Amino acid sequence: MTNRKIVIVGASRGIGAALVELLHKDPMNEILAVSRNLNELERRFKKLDRVTVEQLDLTADVRQQATEIFSRFGDIDILINNAGLLVNKPFNQLNHEDISASYQVNVIGVMETVQAALPYLPSKGAHIVNISSMGGFQGSVKFPGLAAYSTSKAALCSFTELFVEEYKDTQIKMNCLCLGAAQTEMLEAAFPGYQAPLSASEMAEFIADFALNGHRWINGKILPVSLSTP
Ligand SMILES: NC(=O)c1ccc[n+]([C@@H]2O[C@H](COP(=O)([O-])OP(=O)(O)OC[C@H]3O[C@@H](n4cnc5c(N)ncnc54)[C@H](OP(=O)(O)O)[C@@H]3O)[C@@H](O)[C@H]2O)c1
């Protein structure tokens, strides 16, 4: 018998895929795993009962796509906005598409996903966890080439604070985790050869536990989760 319904956006690989596998271990959890690559979602998760996969592209009509998907899934107790796009280019070489795609996936797509989720968040409460980056955390060390990525992740932090202000009289909680480096395809593509101190699964352990429990104590907060970045 399941009684906790969890949506993971950006679940086809990396930290998101590790989150699905980890959270599936608890028979209480029913999981909706979404991203663009439906074949990969099916390949990874088809053997797992209590995991449904759906295609969602954060670059277009996000609110409409997500509304249709969520209407099939029903109530959402936990929503983890994990999908992300990292463009690594010197500032002067960033074109309009690089900047707008970064903001579309990392900020606008998240905001519209949350809008679509609102009707499905139960009145007893829900926890929304936004996955940001240490690059978007105020005062952290910054890296050249990440102006589009890290400013968009900073906007995601800001959205978290603004959402919580508007929903402070409800049982909906939202927090934002600013991750340090974890070994994934995104990291390898952006920083070839760099060895992160954590695997995707190790990072997912913290995120899963926080998503399940953190909102009992914490709401509207921007939290650094990093072994690597000052
Ligand atoms: N790895 C790190 O060191 C690190 C550090 C700080 C923050 N983070 C953040 O942690 C999150 C996960 O990172 P990761 O390293 O696991 O990245 P990843 O391996 O590149 O995985 C990203 C996930 O996002 C999905 N995604 C990308 N664009 C999408 C779109 N337009 N629509 C829907 N889904 C989309 C991808 O699936 P599809 O391709 O199937 O769409 C994939 O499942 C990201 O938000 C990232 O910014 C990671």
Q: Does residue 32 belong to any structural domain of this protein?
A: yes
In this structure, are residues 200 and 183 in contact, taking their beta carbons and an 8 Å threshold? yes
Name the average pLDDT for the chain.
Answer: 97
| Dist. CA 7–CA 212, nearest whole Å | 12
Q: How far is CA 126 from CA 7, 62, 173, 211, 214, in A?
A: 11, 21, 6, 10, 11
Confidence of residue 119 (pLDDT cuts 50, 70, 90): very high
pTM recorded for the entire structure: 0.98
Is pLDDT above 60 for 214? yes
Q: Please state the domain count of the chain.
A: 1
Q: Does residue 230 belong to any structural domain of this protein?
A: no
Which of these, 159, 162, 140, lies nearest to 150 by C-alpha position?
140
Protein residues whose CB sits closer than 6 Å to any atom of ligand 1: 10-16, 35-37, 40, 56-59, 82-86, 105, 131, 133, 179, 181-182, 184-187, 196, 200
Mutate to test the pocket of ligand 1, among 21, 82, 140 (most ligand atoms within 8 A of CB): 82
Residue 78 is part of a domain; what is its CATH number?
A: 3.40.50.720
Is pLDDT above 90 for 228? no
Task: Tell me what the mean pLDDT of segment 104-127 comes to.
Answer: 97
Which of these, 13, 25, 46, lies nearest to 4 by C-alpha position?
25
User: Where do we find the tokens 């070839």?
Assistant: 192
Mutate to test the pocket of ligand 1, among 7, 13, 113, 191 (most ligand atoms within 8 A of CB): 13
Q: Does residue 53 belong to any structural domain of this protein?
A: yes
Confidence of residue 2 (pLDDT cuts 50, 70, 90): low
Q: Does residue 61 belong to any structural domain of this protein?
A: yes
| Dist. CA 118–CA 73, nearest whole Å | 13
Is pLDDT above 90 for 230? no
In this structure, are residues 34 and 51 in contact, taking their beta carbons and an 8 Å threshold? no
Lowest mean pLDDT among 1-10, 73-82, 199-208: 1-10
The enclosing H or E element of 183 equals: strand 182-183
What would the two tokens of residue 115 be?
Answer: 């809008």
In percent, the amount of the chain with pLDDT more than 90 equals 97
Task: Tell me what the mean pLDDT of segment 110-135 comes to.
Answer: 97
DSSP 91: G
Q: Residue 84 corresponds to which amino acid?
A: G
Q: What is the pLDDT of residues 175-194, one digit of tens each?
A: 999 999 999 999 999 999 99
Q: Does residue 179 belong to any structural domain of this protein?
A: yes
| Dist. CA 227–CA 180, nearest whole Å | 7
Q: How far is CA 82 from CA 33, 110, 124, in A?
A: 11, 9, 24
Task: Tell me what the mean pLDDT of segment 200-207 comes to.
Answer: 98
Q: Does residue 55 belong to any structural domain of this protein?
A: yes
Q: What is the pLDDT of residues 62-112, one digit of tens each?
A: 999 999 999 999 999 999 999 999 999 999 999 999 999 999 999 999 999
In this structure, are residues 164 and 176 in contact, taking their beta carbons and an 8 Å threshold? no
Phi, psi of 142 (to 5 degrees): -110, 155
Residue 134 Cα to ligand 1 midpoint, Å, equals 15
Is pLDDT above 70 for 224? yes
Phi, psi of 5 (to 5 degrees): -110, 125
Q: Does residue 134 belong to any structural domain of this protein?
A: yes
User: Which residues, including other chains, have CB under 8 Å from residue 143's CB and lie 6 or more apart?
Assistant: 135, 150
120 carries an active-site annotation: no
Q: Residue 106 corresponds to which amino acid?
A: N
List the domain range (segments joined by +) for residue 183: 4-225
| Sign of the torsion formed by the C-alpha atoms of 85, 115, 77 and 206 | positive
Q: What is the pLDDT of residues 22-41, one digit of tens each?
A: 999 999 999 999 999 999 99
Confidence of residue 205 (pLDDT cuts 50, 70, 90): very high
Q: Does residue 14 belong to any structural domain of this protein?
A: yes
Q: Residue 140 corresponds to which amino acid?
A: S
